[in-house]
Structure formats: C-alpha cells, structure tokens
Structure 1
C-alpha cells in the first residue's frame, strides 16, 4: 500500500511539474482571433497551433526566460520575451498586423492543408486583390475586373442575347462557362437558371453569375488554373474560382462610382452607370466572432453602337394609295419624308442593356465551444434589366399589326433576375481531426416579359406586353469534411477525406397564352359537301387562316421573345453523392506530392471516378518546379437535358424562330440525336515559380483534352414539299406546332484539345517617396476540335448542321488566343496612380457564310486612374477605361445586316462601346 501511495505521489508531482511553468494566451489581429497561427519557443522544438478560439498553451519543463514567436501567413510575425517563474502560469496576448504584400499571396484553394504562398503551390493559382483594384481600376463588376486583370479569364457585356445580356458568361482558358467551378469561401456556388442559347461566348452552356456577388463583399479571388474535378467535383475541368468574402470588423468602407461612355460613337455621354457600395463588420464576441455586412446598388443605362438602318423599311403595302395594286415595291425614302422620319429611327440598342439592381451579402463566424465555431454566409441579389430585340419595320407585314404600330416597333425584353444563397456550417476538432459540416443552398429565378411588342396573329386584339414565363434553378449541397496533419510522418503528412450530397432542381415556367400561341392556325379535319376543307381553329394545327396583305401567314407569339409554351413546362430534379480522399505528403521540406481520388454517382447518368496527382520540388527559396496530372468530368446540366423553347436568333444578318428540343423529344428521335452523358477530361500541367528579391515569376504550360464535349447544334429544318421525305414532313409539322422554323439540340458531339502557356511576373519596390508595384501577365492558348464528329447513322450527310461552322468558331476562335496585361500602381503620400495596358489578341466572327468569315485583329486597351486622399478617410479617384477610344475591327457588310451591327457582339475581345470615364468617391473609417 505504501508503494501505491508513493507512486501516486510521484505521478501527482510529475503532473504538477508539467503544469508548473505554463504560457497561455490568445492570438488575434485588430478585429478578431486567428485560428491556426503557429506559436513556437525559440531554441526548442516545442510548437503549437491556435485553436478555434485563437488560444494556445505551451508547457515548459523548467522556469526561465523564453522567446515566444507567433506567425501566420499573411501577417507580420511577432516575438515576445517572457520570464516564467516556477509554478507560474503566464497569460499573453499577441496582436498581429496584416501585411498587404503577404496577404495578396495567400492561397487556400487547391489544397486541404494549411494556407501557403501562391509561389509554393503544386498547381498555378492567381490571387486577385479585389479591395486594391476597386480603389483605382475603372471596372466595377466582378466579371469585368477579372477580364482585365487575369489573362486566362474572358468575359464581356453581351448584346442581343435575351436574358444572357444581364449575366455576362465567363470563360477560363478558352473553355466553356460550365467548365469552371465557382466556390464562395470554399463552398460550391449554384449556377444561373438561364442557358445561353444565342450565338455568343459559351453558346449552349450554363455558367455562374459572378456579378450577383458585390465587390464590396469580396476580400480576394483565387483562380486555380488546373483541372480539379477529383478535389471539388463536376465542372472543374478548366479550373476553379474561389471567392473569399470580407471578414474585417470595426471598419466602414463605402464608395460611389459614376461614369459613362464618351467615345466617337457615343451620344455625348451615354451608357451612364452608377454603383454605390458599402461594407461594415462588427465583432460579436471577445473570442473572435464577427458579422460582416455588404450592400450595393447598380444603375446602368442603354448604350448603342449601330449605323442607320440600311434595308427596306416601307413598301407600297404600307401606303397602297401610291399604287393601285401593291406589289412590295420599296417606297422607303418617299415614305420617310412623308412621315418626318429618318433611318436612324429604326435601329435596335446593340451594345449595352439597361439594368437596375441591388445586392445584400453577409459573412459571419461565431465561436460556440472550445475549438468549435459556427459560420454562415450568403446574399440576395435582384436585378431588373431591359434589352432590345431587332426592330420590326412596317414592311414586315406578318410580324406587325399596322393599326397598333403604323411605324413598326422595337421589342423589349424585361428580365427580373433574383439570386439567393445561404450557407451554414460548423467546424472544429474531433480529437486530432479537423471537421467541417456544412450545407449550402442557392437559387436563381429569372422571369421574363416582352413589352412594346405584338402577337400579329391576334390582329388588332393583340396586347402590347406579355408575361413570357421564366426559369428557376435551385441547388442544395451538403458536405462533411475531415482533415488531419501528421507532423512526424516524414516532413509532414496531411490526410483529408469527405462526403458530398448535392440536390438540383430545374423548372421552366410557361408564360401567358397570348405570348406563344398562333391564333391563325387551324386543323383540317376533312372536307364539306362542296369539297372545301373543314378547318377547326387549333394553335397546333398546320393550316394558316390569317394572312397579311401580301398573302403570307401572320406570325404567332410575342415578337422579339416568344413566350414559353405550356408544352415546354419542365419540372426536373436529380441528386449526386460523392466521396473523396486527398493525401498531401511532404517527403522532405522541399519535395511535396499531393494525390486525390473522387467517386461520384449521379441519379440521371451513373457513376464516375476521377483522380489527380500533383507535385512540386523546391530547389531553393528562389526556384520551384511543379506539375500535375488529373482526370476530370462535367455532368451535363439539368438545363441541357431538359431545356425546350422557341426563341428569335440572329444568324448571318437575318433572324429566325428557332426551337430547342430535348433529347427525348420526337424531333430528336427522327434525327437520331443521342441522350446526353458526362464530358470527361485529361489534364497535364508543368511549370515553375521563382522568387528573386523583388521579382516573382510563375510560368505554367498545360494540355487539356475533353471527350464527348456537349455542344449546341446548328439549325435543322424540315420540309412540306411534295417531294420531301416522311421524316422531313413530320419534322416540319412538329416545328410549326412550336412556332419555329428550325430545331436545335444539345449533344455530346465532339472532342477538343486545349493547350497553352500562362506567365505572371510581379515586382514591388520603394521608389522615391512612394511604392511601385508592377504586374505583367500573359497567356497563349489554343483550342481545337479533334477526332471525328460523334454523329448517329441518321445524321450522315448532316454533320455540317450538327456542328455548323459558326459553332466551330465559337469553340475554337472566339476568345483571344493571346492576351497580356501590364499594370503599374504607384502610391506616394496622398496620391495613387494606376496605369494598365491590356492586349486582347485576335478572334474570329462566328458565321456560317464563307464570304462573311472574318478574323478580327488584336487591340491594346489602356486604363488610367488617379486617386487623391482628400482627408484620412475620404478619397477621390478619376480615370478612364479605354482612354484612347479603341474599337474592334468593323464587321463585314454581310455580317452587319440591314440593322447596322457595326462591331462584333458575338466575338468578345474587350467590348465595342469605346472610352469610359469615371469618378469614384470612397469613404473609409
């Protein structure tokens, strides 16, 4: 018994001795505690990390004087000398200062281990400091900011693309908008409900609406330029964009930016814009809890860049008193003079649509227990936009009702875009494992109206505005993630694994009947006693009964944007379940290998397994070699599987009513259009980084091969000619029932290869009394279609329709193959000067007419901004985008058409609106 008491006494003494000299404390910045900071004791191997409350504890074996160091990437390290007596517990507080030059280098994307510098990552990652750019750059929307700062990123304001005019699809490395995955705070963000069915960048794809997130809510953007489907799932073929939200507290930042276009084509000042931003964060607890709130208001006016209407506006049918029997003779000039009009009264607004909108976003973290915290973020965005279709001139007798619009009309498409997102999660530690359980919900609803229009088949009874229906897409993603760092396995091993469940829902909501019905159609049910046909009014009938003065049948549905028919009603859902594992092993401090494997099962097409391996070797602090190989996939979107509608599209100077049919439709069966399956990809990358004093370099080459890539086909049509085949006659009748003359589909039709090189150089140095930062970045990329077109036997001889020339150009040559920018940012005392030159390389205009094929040469666009701090809290900035008023090459006359589209709206380089001048007033305190 005495031995037992002695043992207890010894153990108690040892325990007391272990607790006797203890240093405890908290690490924070000016507003919140810091999780994961490293606390170490100089001269000893003892090292700990701060917990979910920012706290740490060091147990010392003997009393004495120690130097305690604290470090965290993106902050300046801090040291304190502490003397600890025997049996003493010392309490410390470390307040770290953020280092702007370091924060811009921090990367969390592409790895589930600790954050690291972008120069140390095994795959290329760009870090875009949104806060810095929004102080000086002319651009105010996220898409446009990234377009001018990240060479591998392409996005432009579109025109004549219906609801897409207000979304601005984005491309990474020249691939489709749906081949880049967007995350917010590391969580998957939902896509828009709108599918791009017009002939623009991203034709046939569904992207993420980046403009729904206000720049005031964004701290930085990380762009991973490498395949990452094995890590993050579907869509991450070209790369991943991760938007990190603001987390600052006790600081109010606000700004108002106003501007407009003043180039040679502007009407004085047009396309006026106003954006107001505000951000404020409050500390919720003493242990690091915070709530950061952001808001914005956007106002944008029309801007048009067209020439006067060139075609026939009036014929003798519009003024039959001039001729005894109208024959369609052109009387435009005489009639314009008679009515006091000019050709400039008959052009659409081609350039920039009208937009009004507002956004609210929040980001919050609340510690709830030791090493555990709840986090939440999300937002609400609403935009009301108005775009225009082509002018319906009086001579278009079948599309107009002269008693309503004697001078024709310009249809307008009103888009009400509501975007919602909310994410909630809890993260902390279970034993030695970091855990993160979260649920993210996102929804996008677009409702459409067609105004200043007419349903010609209703004659004088037609309304002039229509509820045209809309789209609704919702996505719910649940994640459970685990990770652990094993410090004593070689030079460190990080193991991560997790599960994901995603549910998606897609709806197409029909419009009012008058928006899509042709009331002049009838069904022939036989003949009467005199041999005359017996006709019963039926919108799906194939016999027209209402004719314009020239003898042609009146068109049905709203002009400009035919409404969505009740036959297009869609209500579809699917779910996917995924499991992944990610292992990152540091064989030595210089040599790292990262491997990932992901299994994913979709309820609508099956399972897929993808993997990735990446590595980097750090030869020295000045040079690092890196490379990666991965397989990837993209699940066809619900939109691509189920979208069906009729729309007006502009093709080679003319517009047609084109119907989109799902792959299980009768029309698709007649043509042999197969069912959709996933795209698969193989990606390779190899590059290096270098840190030579004030210079930092990254150069990376890549190769991406995609199989079974989904395209949006060309225009198929039927025929009712006497010699037509039964197949073509049935197709003709099915198209007529849909108020369409052509049919298009989504299909896994092609394989593509994309290859290129990205290079980035940054330089920062004191200069005179200020600091100069220079960034030079460039990309050279090429996408080409390889192998044979995947066509069914029924499509033999129609391959050039299945993949028409315009679609081929949109895939291969519509984004710049060469793009580079040089940015100089100089700050001295109260002044800041910003100068940027961006070279947008050549692109090609999509067309199916050989005579209209055109290569548009490259251009250099110059941005300038000059800022001055009026007070410590108030700053004014003046400047311009495209200060030299540069425009793309003008389109050939055949591509311009009669409506006078002067510049390419389908081949985006940098836009075609000319010089934009702006003033920004910013308040910070």
Structure 2
C-alpha cells in the first residue's frame, strides 16, 4: 500500500510539473501614454497585480477556462474584458482607459505614500486645483494669484515698496508664514529663494518659495495639503504642503496669449498693462510609455501707481540761496514750484505695481529602461528683470541729494535680476516586491540688484548715477531614497514606506561695488597736529564726518533708495541635514484606515529633531467619512535668517529709515543679548468630515496649530551718542554708523503662537438646460494669536516692545484676512462658456507702531467675470475682468498716508489696490 501511495504522489507531481500555466499579459494606457500602478484583477478571484513602470502586467492562472479581467485606476473609468484560455495558452490583452473628468481632477498623491485616492477619502484635507482647466477662463495668470482667488486658505499679493519682494510674491497658508509651508514639484522638495522679506510685507523676516517661477503651462494640477506634515516631508511643512504636478501630455500642442490692464477710477485710460504667453508640447518617446513635455512662457508687466500728489515739503530756502541768502530751512515749496513750472504731481513715486519682464522654460520627462523601472527628470529655468521704485528724494533732502546732478530731486530705481534654476533626475521601479525611488533634486536662486537714477551723496558731484549693488544666492541639493510596499494579506492591507534624505544648502551674500555702499565722508581720527587740530584719515569705517550739506548735516553714504551690500557682509555659509522616515498605513477594515509616520532629522548647524504624525479615517458609507490627525512638526531656521546682514531703506510710519540687519553672532546682537537661532516646533490637530452626495460634495475641517519659538524679525533698535548715554548704547550707535544705518534689526525665536481655524468646501455639478454647471463654494475662518510672554533676555529688559514691536505683532496676527470665502459658477453650453466668481476678503489691519494710526480695514467682495467662445475645436477666445466693479480697500488714515500719498494699504495684502483689470485671452489647441 505504501508503494502504491508513493507512486500516486509521484504521478501527481509529474502531472503538476508537466502542466503548462495559462498567462495573460499586456499593457494599460490612456489615450496618450502608459499608466503605472493600475490594478489588474480577475473577477471573482482574489488574484490581482499592478502595472509596472512600463505600464505592463502579467497574470498567471492555475487552470484553463473563461476569465473576466477588470482594470481600474483612480480618475479613469473601470474597464473589463473577457477571455477564454486553453491549457498553457499565453494571450496578450491590452487596455486603454478613458478619463473620468469629475474624478481625475480630484486625484491626490499628496499626504500618503500608498496608491492615489480621491481627495474625499484622504485622512487629512487636500485641495486639488486643475490648473490646465481653470486657466482657460480666469483673469489671473501667475500661480500665486490663481491660488489666491481659488483656495481660501492661501493668501498672496503683489507687494510694493519692498525692494526684491516687489517681484517675488510672498505666500501664506492658513495665515502662517511663507517659510511654514513646504513646496514640492512632482513630490520632490522645491528650493526656496535667495531673498529675505525684510521690508514690512506679509511674511516679514521669512524666506519663501517662488512658485511664480514655474510657468502655468507646465502645470497639470496643484495639490494643497492643509495639515501639518513635517513628520512625512520634513522642515517647513508646519502649515501644510503644496505639491505642483507637472504636465505630462503628449502629441498635443497648447498655447495661449493673455493681455490686459487696469481701467479703474485711478487709471489714466489703461495702465499696468500685462502680457503673458504660454506654450506646451509633449512628444512620446517610445511605445513603452516614455514622454518628454516642454513648456515655455513670456511675461510682461508694466508700472501702475496709486498715489496722491506729494503733500510734504519739496523745497526749502536752501534750494534757492539766490533768493534766500541766509537760509534757515523754511518751506518755500509753493513759490518754488511756480517759479520752476512744476506741480506736486511731478514728485510722486510709483506705489502699486512694479515693472517686470521675464520668461521661463520647463520640461518633464520619463522613459522606461526595463520591465520594472523608469528614469524620470524634470526642471527648468526662469529669468526675470524687474524695476521698482523707492521713495522720491526731494530737493529739500540735502544730505541725500546733489543739486548739481538732480536739481529737482530724483526717484531711485531698484533693478532686480532673478535667475531660478532647477533640475531633478531619478530612477524608480520594482526592487523585488518593493517599489524603490532614488532621486536627486538641485535648485538654485540668484538675485542681483542694481540701483539707478540715484546718487551716493557723500561723493558730491563725482557721484555716479547707477551702481551695482550686490545680491544673494541660495543653492539646495536634495538626495532621496524611498521604498514602499503594499502587503495585501494582513488585515485589509498594509502599506509600508520608509526612506532617507540628505540635503545640502549654501547661502551667499555678494557685496556690491564700493561706491554703492561706502560713505566717502567718513574719516578716522588718528591724533592731533601741533596746533591741536585733529588728524583725520579717510576711512569708510571711521566715525568722524568730513563732508557736510548746506544745512550742516553730514552727507549720507551709499546709493540712495537701495544702499549696496557692504563688503563686510560677504557671506558664504553651508550646512547639511540627514533624515530618515517611516510611514505605515493600516487598512484595519475596508472602512477604517490609520496612518502613522515618524521622522528623524539631523542638521549640522543646530542638532536633531524627531517628529511624528497619526491620522485616521473612518468611512461610514460611500456618502460620509470622518477624519482626524495629530502631529508634531518643526521648521529649521533658514541659512538666510542665520547669516543675512545688510542695510536697506525702509518706510516706517511716514519716515524713510536706513535700517541694518545684523546676524545673531554680531557684536550688536551680543550687546543686546539676542540669542542664537534654534528650530521652531509645532503641534497640530485637525478633524473633519467629507460627504459625497453625487452631484454635491462637501468637506469640513477644523484645525489647531501651536508653534513654539517662532522666528520673528525684530523691531528697530537704536543707539545713542549723547554724553549721558550708556556704554552699550554708545557702542551700538558707532556700529550702526559704520553700517550706514540708524537702526538695527535681528532674527530671533521671540514668540509662541496659536492658530485656530475652520475650512469648508462644497462643489456641485449638474446639467442645466443643454449645458453643464459647476458651482464651488469655499470658506476659511482663521485666527492667529501670540500667546505668553516675549522670549527676551535680561539684556533686553525694558526693550521688549522693540524686540516685538506693534507692527510685527500685527503682521503675525492680523495682516491676512481672518475670513475668506469664494463662490464660483462655471457654465458651459455648446461653444460657449461663462465664468462668474465672487471672493470675500475679510478684514485685515494695517501694521504700524503708531497707535493713533492703527487701523482695521473692512472686508470687501471682489467679482470676476469672463466669457469664452470656441470658434473651432482648436481656437478659443475669452474676455473678462477681475474686480469688474472696481472695488478698492478702505483708504488709510491721513496720517498713515504720509507725505508721499500712499492712499491704500501696501503692507496689508487683502486683494490688492489697483482696481478693475480687464483682459482678453486667445487659446490654441492642436
């Protein structure tokens, strides 16, 4: 019997070995390229596989027969095919999926390292903005402005009188700083700019990311994660993460040209004209799914000014000594204007919109190199040349002007040249049963300044009128190695991800030419001669003035409007950081998902930090879902904040002040007890629900963010050279004088803040008549408060109100709208479409240290309207307007407007103050 039993086993084994497996293989694609990660399943069977980096799959079946193969991928319509297999047969079965437009625009890859999912099913709130679609209709052309009018939790505006910030718009998420939101491109960390926002704008003292450097034609969609994510993505992700997904279209040419300008009550016909041209084209590199997509843009923006005629003193009797041989500084403005044939309007600065010219080229590419791997790359270059103005230097300002060169004074021009470069390359695919991704991302931003139509008054009549003023440079290189794997057997599936990151950063300050910063009237006293007279040696670092204006005051050194960067500020600093993270997503049941993440990060300049996140989602039904998250986070102080030092002209409460910024290891910082910078730390909580009611979709999320040791840009410290001044104040006075400055500012971990808010988003799609109507309504309520005492050292006792001045407190708490809401109607019928949007920008406050000038600015509703017509399937024309009713912010108090007539708040970015903007857009598709 035993022999017979073993013989039967032997025959069975032979039959198994001899049996031929049945195989189905093929490729899954859409209309233009293969799809990676699509699910291929056997109906009625647990067997399923995913497509590889080439979009290919293979299923081995245990026996011959008839099978139904089902292919699905989020954002596309599920497709199935039936096939009959004979024993040992191999069949090829390809699938071409069609996009489900309503789902595709809500696909999210941000916030999870598992498979993409709908934004209604994520455990944390994510907005999805379909840039390709909305740019056909809306007036806005830059990414920051598009998001400002689409995403209520996002705030950004074009600034004025803020030097380089006039050309690089700071942006805020949930009312926090530009450096507290992390920006990714295709899931890879984007570098920040080289610019520090130092001139009283939104995000004062911060370093943000220039998203406008990316042409909109290069962008497929934008995902905005509205939750703390430092444990997943690292530093800066306290407020959230913005992920920019690049265009991957092939065999399609799209181009558009938009032109427009402002035509409101303050415009002289049409001013502030803008032109933007965009083009995108993609080619298929192989039948296996490779592609190369190119994008380009050209931008032109002209000046627009919203000021009243100059109200202050323009001429004194020093400006006409032939009529007033013994001048005393008496105001003779009206008589002198009449004599010279001038008016006060001849002395108005450009306050509103700077001039800008620029262009960008971007690419996005992928090519399979094996059955299980692909190489990808993306990046681009952006160059901008901008011109902004400082305040007018009137003839009465004797120490800042030279009447021989500029008898009527002058309006300084600050020329900003910005070069932004980025390049990322990587390889991803399957390493055994794991998905692996190895990449390197390089980014650099270079900003150079030139000051023209100006003088260095201390050079007297020998002064040039144009100066190379120096600039800044920031370089970042990030290397990532990521692994992930989905285990289908435990529970209802577990996705495990882990990875490593190394980041190198370098920050440079490049001095300007000597004449741009030096005071040629300074001298060093080295002794006395035989008569007791002082012996002076010309020396830029001297503390004795030798050149004086007619009123007896010493001439100012450095270029007026934007003093060049002193050679003493030369900086070249670097650091490294290393990070390791782990992320596990548990599908406890089909309805209950829990995601846990942890991240260790070590910085070479300040040490280590460990952060974690726990998020959960419970899906009660296809119509209702609850979600919540809790996390800790951090933000490493930027190299810019640690090492930035410079002198700039700033406008504070009606006065032009030469303000110096000093690093925390400087002598002045030591005298005041300014501590070394350390990281900001945060705790975040969020909870909400989503509801999918078919045509109506709803998300509601509340949040709380606590930030400890938040880095601020301090108020203005001054020295004192009087006989009764302390040794500390005398030394500060002399150090400021050497820097051509009268005040000093620093970066410091000075305060703790709490931010609370609620985001509500509703969308509704329906057929209306013979057309389709999409309606979106989104509202955010947010409030940030400084809590506890200011973190001041004993050396700052009595100076806490300078350490954190009133203007800085307002910039943190009240400069972004506390309520922001928009409702959009987009209706399409036949060849026509119409677009209507109302955005309510809630109240903000004007930052100022003068209590009498502190002002709360009421909310306003801005209406955008557009209409488009498709002349052919390839040609569309759209016309419309932003702010069609020509609404302006509340006017500033007369005392806040100052002598230069700043009519509207330029420091409190509500929605801008340039008035109605009309536009026309021509779109081509081939």
Equivalence for 1:180: 181
Structure 1 position 141 matched with structure 2 position 142:
yes
Shift of residue 18 of structure 1?
5.0
Equivalence for 1:221: 222
Equivalence for 1:463: 464
**Residues 18 and 59 of structure 1 are in contact (CA less than 8 Å); yes or no, is this contact kept in structure 2?**
no
SS across alignment from 2:459: helix
Shift of residue 2 of structure 1?
13
Shift of residue 83 of structure 1?
2.4
User: TM (normalized to structure 1)?
Assistant: 0.99
Shift of residue 10 of structure 1?
5.3
* In structure 1, C-alpha distance between the alignment counterparts of 2:700 and 2:916, rounded to whole Å: 33
Structure 1 position 308 matched with structure 2 position 309:
yes
* In structure 2, C-alpha distance between the alignment counterparts of 1:420 and 1:7, rounded to whole Å: 68
Q: Given the superposition, is the C-alpha separation of residues 59 and 335 from structure 1 closer, same or farther in structure 2, using an over 3 Å criterion? A: same
SS across alignment from 1:784: strand
SS across alignment from 1:81: strand
Structural mapping, 1:541-552, within 5 Å: 541-552=542-553
Structure 1 position 328 matched with structure 2 position 332:
no
Equivalence for 2:130: 129
Shift of residue 649 of structure 1?
0.3
* In structure 2, C-alpha distance between the alignment counterparts of 1:854 and 1:812, rounded to whole Å: 14
**Residues 507 and 640 of structure 2 are in contact (CA less than 8 Å); yes or no, is this contact kept in structure 1?**
yes
* In structure 2, C-alpha distance between the alignment counterparts of 1:382 and 1:779, rounded to whole Å: 34
Equivalence for 1:871: 872
Structure 1 position 666 matched with structure 2 position 677:
no
Residues 393-446 of structure 1, C-alpha deviation per residue, up to 9 Å, x if partnerless? Answer: 001000000000000000000011000000000001111100000000000000
**Residues 20 and 88 of structure 2 are in contact (CA less than 8 Å); yes or no, is this contact kept in structure 1?**
no
Shift of residue 767 of structure 1?
1.2
* In structure 2, C-alpha distance between the alignment counterparts of 1:688 and 1:769, rounded to whole Å: 34
Residues 433-464 of structure 1, C-alpha deviation per residue, up to 9 Å, x if partnerless? Answer: 00000000000000100000100000000000
In structure 2, stretches of 5+ residues that fail to align are none
Structural mapping, 1:190-229, within 5 Å: 190-229=191-230
**Residues 707 and 752 of structure 1 are in contact (CA less than 8 Å); yes or no, is this contact kept in structure 2?**
yes
SS across alignment from 1:145: helix
Equivalence for 1:504: 505
Shift of residue 535 of structure 1?
1.2
Structural mapping, 1:822-833, within 5 Å: 822-833=823-834
Q: Given the superposition, is the C-alpha separation of residues 316 and 9 from structure 1 closer, same or farther in structure 2, using an over 3 Å criterion? A: farther
Shift of residue 44 of structure 1?
2.0
* In structure 1, C-alpha distance between the alignment counterparts of 2:205 and 2:4, rounded to whole Å: 84
* In structure 2, C-alpha distance between the alignment counterparts of 1:248 and 1:77, rounded to whole Å: 21
Equivalence for 2:840: 839
Residues 39-69 of structure 1, C-alpha deviation per residue, up to 9 Å, x if partnerless? Answer: 1122222221111111112223333332221
SS across alignment from 1:36: coil
* In structure 1, C-alpha distance between the alignment counterparts of 2:742 and 2:372, rounded to whole Å: 64
* In structure 2, C-alpha distance between the alignment counterparts of 1:603 and 1:830, rounded to whole Å: 59
Structure 1 position 14 matched with structure 2 position 22:
no
Q: Given the superposition, is the C-alpha separation of residues 318 and 866 from structure 1 closer, same or farther in structure 2, using an over 3 Å criterion? A: same
* In structure 2, C-alpha distance between the alignment counterparts of 1:18 and 1:816, rounded to whole Å: 69
Shift of residue 345 of structure 1?
0.8
**Residues 18 and 60 of structure 1 are in contact (CA less than 8 Å); yes or no, is this contact kept in structure 2?**
no
Structure 1 position 859 matched with structure 2 position 860:
yes
Shift of residue 11 of structure 1?
4.8
SS across alignment from 1:227: coil
**Residues 393 and 409 of structure 1 are in contact (CA less than 8 Å); yes or no, is this contact kept in structure 2?**
yes
User: TM (normalized to structure 2)?
Assistant: 0.99
SS across alignment from 1:191: coil
Q: Given the superposition, is the C-alpha separation of residues 78 and 160 from structure 1 closer, same or farther in structure 2, using an over 3 Å criterion? A: same
Equivalence for 1:266: 267
Structure 1 position 253 matched with structure 2 position 267:
no
Residues 123-160 of structure 1, C-alpha deviation per residue, up to 9 Å, x if partnerless? Answer: 00000010111000100000000000000000000000
Equivalence for 1:683: 684
SS across alignment from 1:730: helix
Equivalence for 2:95: 94
SS across alignment from 2:752: strand
Equivalence for 1:79: 80
Residues 571-607 of structure 1, C-alpha deviation per residue, up to 9 Å, x if partnerless? Answer: 0000000000000001001001000000000000000
Shift of residue 16 of structure 1?
5.3
Shift of residue 338 of structure 1?
1.4
Residues 866-901 of structure 1, C-alpha deviation per residue, up to 9 Å, x if partnerless? Answer: 000011100000000000000000011111110000
Shift of residue 316 of structure 1?
1.0
Structural mapping, 1:152-191, within 5 Å: 152-191=153-192
Shift of residue 750 of structure 1?
0.3
Structure 1 position 721 matched with structure 2 position 722:
yes
Q: Given the superposition, is the C-alpha separation of residues 345 and 89 from structure 1 closer, same or farther in structure 2, using an over 3 Å criterion? A: same
Residues 62-83 of structure 1, C-alpha deviation per residue, up to 9 Å, x if partnerless? Answer: 3333222111001111122222
* In structure 2, C-alpha distance between the alignment counterparts of 1:851 and 1:58, rounded to whole Å: 76
Q: How many residues align?
A: 924
Shift of residue 489 of structure 1?
0.8
Structure 1 position 118 matched with structure 2 position 119:
yes
SS across alignment from 1:135: coil
Equivalence for 2:759: 758
Shift of residue 915 of structure 1?
0.3
In structure 1, stretches of 5+ residues that fail to align are none
**Residues 777 and 821 of structure 1 are in contact (CA less than 8 Å); yes or no, is this contact kept in structure 2?**
yes
SS across alignment from 1:407: coil
SS across alignment from 2:895: helix
**Residues 20 and 87 of structure 2 are in contact (CA less than 8 Å); yes or no, is this contact kept in structure 1?**
no
**Residues 173 and 238 of structure 1 are in contact (CA less than 8 Å); yes or no, is this contact kept in structure 2?**
yes
* In structure 2, C-alpha distance between the alignment counterparts of 1:9 and 1:727, rounded to whole Å: 99
Equivalence for 1:521: 522
* In structure 1, C-alpha distance between the alignment counterparts of 2:267 and 2:739, rounded to whole Å: 40
SS across alignment from 2:319: coil
SS across alignment from 2:593: strand
SS across alignment from 1:322: coil
**Residues 17 and 61 of structure 1 are in contact (CA less than 8 Å); yes or no, is this contact kept in structure 2?**
no
Residues 723-760 of structure 1, C-alpha deviation per residue, up to 9 Å, x if partnerless? Answer: 10111000000000000000000000000000000010
**Residues 443 and 473 of structure 1 are in contact (CA less than 8 Å); yes or no, is this contact kept in structure 2?**
yes
C-alpha RMSD over aligned residues: 1.3
